[in-house]
């Protein structure tokens, strides 16, 4: 059984047996024989541990249920550690003070990113452009869902250069951000947003006045 590093103790307590899983791309045969397949949708971190911020609530709960079932079948009550899984299986019932899954993290992050575009100067000077370029560079490396970050970096670095951040001013930056978001929408099979309306959605409020 894999050991849990002390700093991860509480987060992964009860799930030690799942840490034998290897990240996608690593040969299946390198997995230990006693590791069970992970529930569908669970994404692993680069170190092979389940990545909560890369995984939906539903898949994370399937993982904790699996861990709980396995630990109750292999441990005595006095030695089994508690698994902090919510009792309900309804994602909408997730308490607001739990760590974010990939969707909650994404929603908050898009709010920040589009709001940054909304607050961007109408015409940006070179320092402002450099600051934003630097932010996007580090953001795309540090975003906590690593699979999301990798794809975002790849999209920005398209060899044609067509997806480089457009930073001369608010209008083109807001549109670029909308296209970046639509790229993820397409990947996830979601409806694309009509970028003509990005400013009403994120800066001015809708023309029908419902945000006033
Ligand atoms: C950089 C990045 C990469 C991501 N990659 C992944 C990934 O690889 N896999 C994954 O599962 N999740 C990923 N996500 C999360 C994903 O994009 C969503 O945030 C998440 O699925 C929740 O979706 P949602 O339907 O609630 O709305 P969101 O997509 O979060 O959108 C929030 C709101 O923004 C508005 N909106 C939608 N599209 C646009 C647009 N194009 N322009 C302007 N406004 C718009 C709508 O009003 C919408 O309600 C990523 C998030 C970010 C920030």
12 lines ligand 1 (CB under 6 A): no
Backbone angles phi, psi at 48, to 5 degrees: 90, 0
What H or E segment, with its residue span, contains residue 141?
A: helix 126-142
**How crowded is residue 40: how many other Cβ atoms within 10 Å of its Cβ?**
8
Structure tokens at 26: 């690593």
143, 152, 157, 184: residue to mutate for ligand 1 pocket, most atoms within 8 A of CB:
184
- Separation of 33 CA from ligand 1 center, angstroms? 37
Residue-wise pLDDT tens digits, 50-93? 998 999 999 999 999 998 888 887 765 544 444 444 434 455 56
Q: Which residues contact 206 (CB under 8 A, 6 or more apart)?
A: 200
Q: Which residues contact 140 (CB under 8 A, 6 or more apart)?
A: 149, 152, 153, 156
Chain-centre distance of CA 147, in angstroms? Answer: 8
For ligand 1, atom 3, the nearest C-alpha belongs to 148
Q: Please report, in tens digits, the pLDDT of each residue of the chain (212 residues total).
A: 333 334 434 444 444 444 334 443 332 333 444 567 889 999 998 888 899 899 999 999 999 999 888 888 776 554 444 444 443 445 556 788 999 999 999 999 999 999 999 999 999 999 999 999 999 999 999 999 999 999 999 999 999 999 999 999 999 999 999 999 999 999 999 999 999 999 999 999 999 999 99
Q: Which ligand 1 atom is at minimum distance from the Cα of 198?
A: 43
Helix axes 126-142, 146-156, angle to 10 degrees: 140
163 lines ligand 1 (CB under 6 A): no
In angstroms, the CA 82 to CA 68 distance is 8
In angstroms, the CA 147 to CA 145 distance is 6
114 lines ligand 1 (CB under 6 A): yes
* Helix, strand, or coil (residue 50): strand
- Tell me if 50 sits within 8 A of 18, measured CB to CB: yes
Residue length, the chain? 212
In angstroms, the CA 121 to CA 166 distance is 13
Q: Which ligand 1 atom is at minimum distance from the Cα of 139?
A: 1
In angstroms, the CA 84 to CA 61 distance is 10
Q: Which ligand 1 atom is at minimum distance from the Cα of 110?
A: 53
């Amino acid at each position: 059984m894999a050991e849990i590093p002390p700093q991860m103790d509480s987060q992964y307590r009860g799930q030690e047996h799942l840490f034998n899983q290897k990240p996608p791309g690593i040969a299946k045969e390198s997995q230990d024989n006693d590791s069970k397949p992970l529930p569908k949708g669970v994404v692993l971190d680069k170190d092979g541990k389940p990545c909560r911020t890369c995984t939906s609530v539903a898949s994370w709960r399937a993982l904790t249920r699996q861990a709980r079932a396995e630990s109750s079948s292999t441990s005595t009550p006095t030695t089994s550690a508690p698994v902090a899984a919510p009792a309900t299986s309804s994602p909408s019932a997730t308490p607001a003070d739990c760590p974010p899954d990939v969707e909650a993290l994404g929603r908050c992050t898009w709010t920040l990113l589009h709001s940054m575009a909304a607050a961007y100067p109408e015409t940006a000077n070179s320092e402002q452009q450099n600051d934003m370029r630097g932010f996007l560079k580090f953001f795309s490396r540090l975003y906590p869902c690593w699979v999301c970050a990798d794809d975002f970096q790849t999209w920005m670095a398209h060899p044609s250069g067509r997806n480089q951040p457009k930073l001369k001013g608010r209008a083109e930056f807001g549109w670029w951000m909308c296209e970046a978001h639509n790229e993820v929408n397409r990947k996830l099979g979601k409806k694309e947003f009509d970028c003509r309306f990005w400013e009403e959605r994120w800066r001015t409020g809708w023309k029908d006045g419902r945000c006033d």
